[in-house]
Amino acid sequence: MIVARQLAGRSLGLDTRERACSPYARFMRPMRADLPASALSAAARGPVAPPRLPGITAVGQLCGDGSHELESGYTRLRDGEARVAIATPMPGCSAEMVDWWFGWHAEDPVRYKLWHPGAHVHACWVEDADPTARGRARYVGRTSLVDEYLGSNLGRFAIRFVAPVSLGLSEAALDARSGATAVCARVGLVELPLDVGYLVHHVRPAGDGVEMRSRFWLGGPHAAVRGAGRLGGAVGRAVSRWVRPSERDALDLLVHCAEEMAHLATILPDIHAIHGGE
């Protein structure tokens, strides 16, 4: 994967000004949330056979009852595609809170740092928000530019949020009555006009909160030049050797996602209780 340089004025953790002036600094907590047992098991197991993790064409199955045969794991295909899956319990949280978070997280870099204090450096929106929008409508159609560490590598990514139905998920299964939602996005690079994959965070009721089932499909057939249509797909596949995720990249992503979502579950109810109207 392409690794970005550290940008001047951006740092891991809160700087002196942020600690003193940000209204969100009170929510900065050390990374103490334990990884789900499934994530620890997946990391220890290593890569699995590719058929055990469905491709993006099967994404609609997330809206069905039950669970996949494998909810946490990673693999790499011969064509360069990497697939990652991770399931995270989020007690005390709701789908509505998750949708609110994804519309709120990139308005201020401090908010993004709260999410993963050990890896998140900076985030900002490309587009302005519709001040009247709520829920999923607050982030779908917008792009979040993020600087974050995956393992020891700092990357800059463009996360363009898209409607779940555009990837094949059922709107009926994600309406307000379902208690479920799905955060879907096209993942690209900031420093090159390349889209490199897709992500889906499917959230459904579980226990005294929700369960987030995250899926990533990166590299291989998913690479395309941003905004160039069919030609972009062809060119993207030709240059995808520069953005081919390795098995190590996939493992780093699995651990990163497990860490950030487990940590989010510990802070989201408190932040939403105070700032949920913003």
CATH of the domain at 196: 3.30.530.20
Separation of first and last alpha carbons in the chain: 36
Burial 240-270 (b: 16+ CB within 10 A, else e): beebbbeeebbbbbbbbbbbbbbbbbbbbbe
Q: Give the least confident one: 51-55, 215-219, 239-243, 274-278.
A: 239-243
Between 224 and 236, whose confidence is greater? 224
pLDDT of residue 2: 39
Whether residue 236 is predicted with pLDDT greater than 80 in this model: the reply is: no
Structure-token pair, residue 41: 């098991």
Mean pLDDT of 11-27: 93
φ/ψ of residue 165, rounded to 5: -65, -25
φ/ψ of residue 264, rounded to 5: -55, -40
Residue 10 included in any domain: no
φ/ψ of residue 25, rounded to 5: -60, -25
C-alpha distances in Å from residue 97, one per residue of 160, 209, 220, 236, 253: 20, 11, 33, 36, 23
Residue 1 included in any domain: no
Candidates 60, 41, 32; CA nearest to 215 is 60
How many domains does one find in the chain? 1
Whether residue 138 is predicted with pLDDT greater than 60 in this model: the reply is: yes
Top mean pLDDT of 31-45, 217-231, 260-274 is at 260-274
Residue 196 included in any domain: yes
Q: Tell me how crowded residue 205 is: count the other CB atoms within 10 A of its CB.
A: 13
The domain in which residue 35 lies consists of 22-275
Mean pLDDT of 4-15: 70
pTM: 0.92
Asked whether 199 and 83 are in contact (CB, 8 A), the reply is no
